[in-house]
Copies of this chain bind each other. A is one copy, B any other.
């Protein structure tokens, strides 16, 4: 790969050569396209999407991460954006519109036929992580009194339409559109043509209410082996289908979000192709809270300036105590968040988590305290100095580990996102506590330290 693919793309776009552009894009594998497009400047991307047939442009958008697709569509004039978005399925439309800025999404909805716009708005109204937001609206349904022969004939007659649906199930409905049953497509193979479909249907079909949240759907797909589940509205009418694959992908996205949020990347995934201002702003929103919490925590040191100026060597150990306690506490935070996600612990089980973390805190606090205390003793040749430093780290490790285990449970109980807030709360409290312990111990034993 001597020439990067986007260099050729850019040339074809500049020449306005649509045919060559399509053949170049086809040569880039689907998984490489996101990277190639992220290397083109906004002007070139705009020219590219105006050059491509809308249907083809729509197919390209479907393959990209939602955030990237939304950013690209935002670059286009609303009429052209509409033509591309119009070629997508309602679910894909909603995914992209949801990630766009409100006024630009509204402009596209305004270009749509009132019927299409209403459909898209219906899906948009559901939270992205609910059954309504994740469902597909393409599915195959038949009246429940059809025969297998009738169904097979219809399937064969419309094979080209249905082959896009990727569904493994056929849904049976009553006359008023309510869900009556489900049949596995493959079961049609194993039965004679004259059988009525209702005789094959899975008894008591599971269905998902349109407002069910992602975590509950993950549990249902864990408890049952179905590849897809029908979604019903309040009146039990069939409105869509959620597929195992989409639920697993959404769950994966959510887990990724946990990692990014815990690292201080909030407000959706950051891609380096996003505008600099946007990236700075997102990261600062979290850093600016953090700097204030940091100042509050460090103000403890200001109260002990006298002690510190007498035992200046302690200044070397304050950042170590602060950092190590933060690390120990964050380990406990990660285990709690993971156990909450897996359902292995419930937010009210504070006692159990505290007990389990106290054990680890005692052992690790003792060992780390001994290590750091010994280092301090060796360096200064003063046992008491080692005791002050090691004791502060030991006690603070116990505090940090216990708090780290409990904070995510508290946040979950009060409806806050544990991945986002646990870290800053934890480090602020353990920093304050660590400084207080080290400087407090030092003040108490001041006369013996120098």
Contact = CB atoms under 8 A, between A and B. Distances in A.
A56 interface: no
Interface residues of A, number: 106
A283 B189 contact: no
A330 B252 contact: no
A50 to B, nearest CB: 24
Nearest to A310: B309
Task: Tell me how many chains of this kind the complex includes.
Answer: 2
A260 interface: yes
A360 B277 CA distance: 8
A369 to B, nearest CB: 10
A108 interface: no
B248 A335 contact: no
A53 interface: no
Given A256-B255, A298-B317, A301-B315, A338 B269 contact: yes
Given A249-B248, A262-B259, A288 B371 contact: yes
A342 interface: yes
Contacts of A38: 344
Interface of A: 29-32, 34-35, 38, 63, 65, 152, 155-156, 159, 166, 168, 185-186, 188-190, 219, 222-223, 225, 244-245, 248-249, 251-252, 255-256, 258-260, 262-265, 269-273, 276, 279-280, 283-284, 286-288, 290-291, 294-295, 297-299, 301-302, 305, 308-309, 312-313, 315-320, 322-324, 326-328, 330-331, 333-335, 338-339, 342-346, 352-353, 356, 359-360, 363-364, 367-368, 371-372, 375, 379, 427, 431, 435
